[in-house]
Amino acid sequence: MVSKDCIMAFQIVIASVMCSYNPEDWTELCQEAEASGADALELNLSCPHGMGESGMGLACGQVKHHL
């Protein structure tokens, strides 16, 4: 049997970050995710689900100079 500690050693946490385009917000959210133990970050720049009207997700990712 594989021990719980051994299984936990192979688990990773990926934090998905999404906000409107404001460099300070992205920086703060990414730093908070990292401080909380995230091993990797997904910058959500392509989400089409209802956030475009708020300038988030897909709306943010479609503006080249924001990337």
Verify whether residue 19 is a known catalytic residue.
no
Question: Over the chain, what is the mean pLDDT?
Answer: 78
- d(CA 12, CA 40) in angstroms, rounded, equals 8
**pLDDT greater than 80 at residue 32:** yes
Q: Which of 19, 30, 47, 60 is catalytic?
A: 47
**Confidence (pLDDT) at 7:** 60
Mean pLDDT of 57-61: 68
**pLDDT greater than 80 at residue 52:** no
Q: In terms of pLDDT, which residue wins out, 55 or 30? A: 30
| Numbers of helices and strands, H then E, in the chain | 3, 2
In the numeric block, which tokens belong to residue 14? 């990926």
**Confidence (pLDDT) at 31:** 96
- HSE, CB side, 13 Å, CA atoms: give it for residue 25: 10
